[in-house]
Amino acid sequence: MSTQHLSEQELIRRDKLAELKKLGIDPYPAPEFPVTHTSVDIKFGYSEEHKEAFAEVSLAGRVMSIRDMGKAAFAVIQDHAGRIQIYVKRDEICPGEDKTLYDTVWKKLLDIGDIIGIKGYGFITKTGETSVHVREFALLSKALKPLPVAKEKDGETFDAVTDPEFRYRQRYVDLVINPAVRETFVQRTKLVNTIRQFLNERGALEVDTPVLQSIPGGAAARPFITHHNALDIPLYLRIANELYLKRLIVGGFDWVYEFSRDFRNEGMDRTHNPEFTILEFYTAYKDYLWMMDQTEQLLEQCARALHGVTDVTVGDKVISFKAPFARVPIYDAIQQHTGIDVREMDEAELLKTCKSLHLVADATMGKGKLIDTLFGELCEHHYVQPTFIIDYPVEMSPLTKRHRKDARLVERFELMVNGKEIANAYSELNDPLDQRARFEEQAKLMERGDDEAMFIDYDFLRALEYGMPPTAGIGIGIDRLAMLMTNQASIQDVLLFPQMRPEKTSGAASEE
């Protein structure tokens, strides 16, 4: 790219870069810069009584603002922990005759966005702000693009970058300039760590299973397809890892889990990204009732880890993750919200019912899908507080064990929070013959035109034939849980790099 596409400010910064080099200053030096303190260590640790502990501090970070006052200046630098003000006095960083370092390097060549290292000591300014009095400073990395930093006064923010396209495409900038965004992702990691700790403490084993699968199983969804050249076969990006984790239960691991990055070739909106993360775990010799207890405990612990309490604010609602959660059979839920008892209906009656309620339904849909539609359209949004919807009809749950008391039902629950499904769990079907029959039922649905019906996975059936212990399994949508726990309305705000249509190269500058 030629320089005519660069903005005035970018051209000026390139000139400054050349100027620095002319002065013998490497704008991108190699040596380690030893850091002794973070901004926050000093900001909240410093006091006049303990000033000796801060007599020699060294820290590094990005210049966020500069207030130049002639022969002295204030600046704010930001490191991974936060921000702190620094104070630079000309005659201190330039004790001799040569004032170039201050007059030229600091005042003329340093910009907001540059990364510097400083050495100095802690002190408190006249106006009471804990700061670092700089004795030495070094440029560690010159920024060539202007950083669009927001300004704040009295809690009000000015000129913050709010354009979602800018923020998602240039997340690196978003993270630098919007501390709340950074905090959301720290919280997300804390959430994942809490879950991992919860499971590890109980003896679960974290495993990795294939992302590239020749049969995309374990869920009803359209997969991404790719091709392996050496084997010359199609491969699918996984839509779920369920069948692999159950193979591991067959193999004798009694409690396995995986944070599974799954891929589904479907629409995108504020709750769907083509790749997303689900925690799945499977525990031998347990059932779905046990799993509900575990889920309550896990979510309560997550809320406490992130917020210290079990009440979490989500939008204009307060959601309590205090265990136990309500448990409502799906037929009761439908009856409660529609007044219709569908439990004895056959497929034709269900289809009629759906149509009479003005729901989109057609003959390709089996009984399971019709009931799912009734629940999803008319009931789901009512469940704001965490609620287990339990005992689904067998037709919509091809991998689930039949209910111990009613063979038309399965031992399954979905956890609804804030009107959305957060988790899906069941007593796993371990009867190989029943599983084969259910797969065959799915194959028939596929022939009827259901493009989300499951493929038959013969290797999985073979595994079951060797015997799988009775097992409880669950999948928890981590992105959606993160949205709840961090009070974000869009999945894009809990994904560091949400999927975007590729931008034209002219926008992403500097191909020179």
Partner RNA sequence: GAAUUGGUAGCUCAGCUGGUAGAGCAAUACACUUUUAAUGUAUGGGUCCUGGGUUCGAGUCCCAGCCAGUUCACCA
Give least dist CB 337 to RNA, A: 16
Q: CA-based Rg of the chain, rounded to a whole angstrom? A: 29
Going across the sheet that includes 412-417, the strands are 205-206, 255-263, 275-284, 471-477, 420-427, 412-417, 387-390, 326-329
Of residues 373 through 412, those in contact with RNA by CB under 7 A are none
Nearest CA to 205 out of 259, 281, 256 is that of 256
Cβ nearer to RNA, comparing 167 with 284:
167
Does 67 bind RNA (CB under 7 A)? Our answer is yes
Which tokens hold the place of 84?
A: 């702190």
DSSP character string of 401-455: PBPSS-TTBBSEEEEEETTEEEEEEEEBP--HHHHHHHHHHHHHHHHHT-TTSPP
Does 138 bind RNA (CB under 7 A)? Our answer is no
Answer for which of 14, 90, 343, 436 binds RNA (CB under 7 A) is 90
Give least dist CB 283 to RNA, A: 21
Does 2 bind RNA (CB under 7 A)? Our answer is no
Give least dist CB 229 to RNA, A: 27
Does 160 bind RNA (CB under 7 A)? Our answer is yes
Binding part of the chain for RNA, among 144-152, 202-210, 229-237, 317-325 by CB under 7 A, reads: 144-152
Beta strands in 191-331 (DSSP E): 205-206, 212-213, 225-228, 233-237, 255-263, 275-284, 311-314, 317-320, 326-329
How many whole angstroms from its chain centre is CA 110?
Answer: 35
Give least dist CB 270 to RNA, A: 4
Which tokens hold the place of 480?
A: 């959606």
Answer for which of 125, 189, 200, 510 binds RNA (CB under 7 A) is 125
Give least dist CB 262 to RNA, A: 7
Give least dist CB 66 to RNA, A: 6
* C-beta separation of 374 from 354 below 8 A: yes
100: CB partners within 8 A, 6+ apart: 23, 94
Does 82 bind RNA (CB under 7 A)? Our answer is no
Binding part of the chain for RNA, among 85-93, 194-202, 279-287, 317-325 by CB under 7 A, reads: 85-93
Binding part of the chain for RNA, among 205-213, 425-433, 440-448, 497-505 by CB under 7 A, reads: 497-505
Instruction: Determine which helix (DSSP H) or strand (DSSP E) holds 390, and give its type and residue range.
Output: strand 387-390
Give least dist CB 467 to RNA, A: 29
Which tokens hold the place of 423?
A: 């988790």
Give least dist CB 50 to RNA, A: 18
Cβ nearer to RNA, comparing 5 with 51:
5
Cβ nearer to RNA, comparing 222 with 343:
222
Nearest CA to 114 out of 141, 87, 137, 136 is that of 141
* CA 93/CA 136 separation, integer angstroms: 6
Torsion of CA 259, 263, 264, 268, to 10 degrees: 90
Cβ nearer to RNA, comparing 463 with 477:
477
Answer for which of 28, 166, 172, 285 binds RNA (CB under 7 A) is 166
Q: Give strand pairing partners of 410.
A: 402
Does 358 bind RNA (CB under 7 A)? Our answer is no
Answer for which of 46, 54, 276, 413 binds RNA (CB under 7 A) is 276
Give least dist CB 477 to RNA, A: 5
* CA 372/CA 359 separation, integer angstroms: 11
Answer for which of 40, 72, 143, 323 binds RNA (CB under 7 A) is 72
Give least dist CB 167 to RNA, A: 8
Count of residues that interact with RNA, criterion CB under 7 A = 79
Give least dist CB 88 to RNA, A: 9
Position of tokens 């905090």?
183
Cβ nearer to RNA, comparing 183 with 503:
503
Beta strands in 36-191 (DSSP E): 57-68, 72-78, 83-89, 115-124, 130-141, 151-153, 156-158
Of residues 13 through 52, those in contact with RNA by CB under 7 A are 16
* CA 248/CA 428 separation, integer angstroms: 13
Does 159 bind RNA (CB under 7 A)? Our answer is yes
Does 452 bind RNA (CB under 7 A)? Our answer is yes
Answer for which of 267, 308, 339, 467 binds RNA (CB under 7 A) is 267
Q: How are beta strands 205-206 and 255-263 bridged, if at all?
A: parallel
Does 220 bind RNA (CB under 7 A)? Our answer is yes
Of residues 461 through 480, those in contact with RNA by CB under 7 A are 477, 479-480
Does 98 bind RNA (CB under 7 A)? Our answer is no
